[in-house]
């Protein structure tokens, strides 16, 4: 379990690297808890001005570790993913994401809380919630339609259509596309540029940009979480996940 998430602070940028490459950076409960702790630390540290979250040039995040998800369901454990997203949604500093390869489920929905997203041209995005017998989470039922329109959001969130980096750029979900080998350096340069800005002006501007959704987002996320927990205990979801591993 050691080093599944690596963190480093340099020149005001706090870099969080997902490092479970053998599982395509699928997130388990322990990783979610560690991510939450790292974001809480970054929010409180006066020396950190910007967070960069990344995998490597070939993989960002394949979503939930479904085996871990099933075990948590059986134990009726708190869903660590939902706790992490609640921390991310109220984070008070700029977040930059560098994505590549699989960007699945929460790997995509967490991007809706980021301020800039750089995507390698090998990125493949997918939101397979209904296919798993589940529903949107992380505020995506509000934030995605606001970003790309109701019809397109239905296509991605309900039909679970896979889309590539170019389509994500056209939809306005990513800021920039680059070659995989340039991904991490490009994102790092942007994060350092943001970190060097006057801090009061930076944080004030970000807060103003978030104002439109900050009031309603908590209630939307609470509704999503209630339905998500209900659905994960449903016969449909249990059957789908069982079949997945068979």
Digits of tens for pLDDT over the chain (246 positions)?
Answer: 479 999 999 999 999 999 999 999 999 999 999 999 999 999 999 999 999 999 999 999 999 998 887 777 665 556 888 999 999 999 999 999 999 999 999 999 999 999 999 999 999 999 999 999 999 999 999 999 999 999 999 999 999 999 999 999 999 999 999 999 999 999 999 999 999 999 999 999 999 999 989 989 999 999 999 999 999 889 999 899 888 776
CATH of the domain at 83: 3.90.226.10
Domain ranges, residue 28: 5-180
95 in any annotated domain: yes
168 in any annotated domain: yes
232 in any annotated domain: no
pTM, full prediction: 0.94
DSSP-assigned letters across all residues of the chain: -TTSEEEEEETTEEEEEE--GGGTT-B-HHHHHHHHHHHHHHHH-TT--EEEEE--SS-SB--B-HHHHHHHHHHT---HHHHHHHHHHT--S-EEEEE-SEEETHHHHGGGG-SEEEEETT-EEE--TGGGT----TTHHHHHHHHH-HHHHHHHHTS---EEHHHHHHHTS-SEEE-GGGHHHHHHHHHHHHHTS-HHHHHHHHHHHHHHHHTTHHHHHHHHHHHHHHHHTSHHHHHHHHHHH-
| Structural domains of the chain, count | 1
């Amino acid at each position: 379990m050691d080093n599944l998430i690596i963190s480093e602070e340099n020149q005001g940028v706090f870099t969080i690297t997902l490092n479970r490459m053998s599982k395509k950076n699928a997130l388990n409960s322990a990783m979610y808890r560690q991510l939450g702790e790292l974001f809480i630390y970054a929010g409180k540290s006066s020396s950190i001005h910007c967070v960069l979250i990344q995998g490597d040039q070939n993989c960002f995040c394949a979503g939930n570790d479904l085996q871990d998800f099933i075990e948590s369901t059986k134990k009726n454990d708190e869903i660590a993913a939902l706790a992490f997203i609640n921390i991310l949604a109220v984070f008070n500093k700029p977040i930059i994401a560098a994505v590549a390869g699989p960007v699945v489920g929460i790997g995509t929905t967490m991007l809706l809380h980021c301020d800039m997203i750089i995507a390698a041209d090998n990125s493949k995005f997918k939101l397979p919630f209904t296919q798993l017998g589940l529903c949107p989470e992380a505020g995506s039922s509000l934030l995605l339609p606001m970003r790309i329109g109701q019809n397109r959001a239905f296509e991605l969130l309900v039909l679970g259509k896979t889309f590539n980096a170019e389509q994500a750029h056209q939809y306005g979900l990513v800021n920039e596309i680059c070659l995989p080998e340039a991904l991490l350096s490009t994102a790092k340069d942007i994060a350092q540029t943001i970190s060097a800005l006057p801090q009061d002006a930076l944080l004030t501007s970000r807060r103003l940009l978030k104002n439109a959704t900050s009031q309603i987002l908590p209630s939307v996320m609470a509704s999503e979480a209630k339905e998500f927990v209900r659905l994960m205990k449903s016969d449909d979801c249990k059957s789908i996940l069982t079949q997945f591993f068979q």
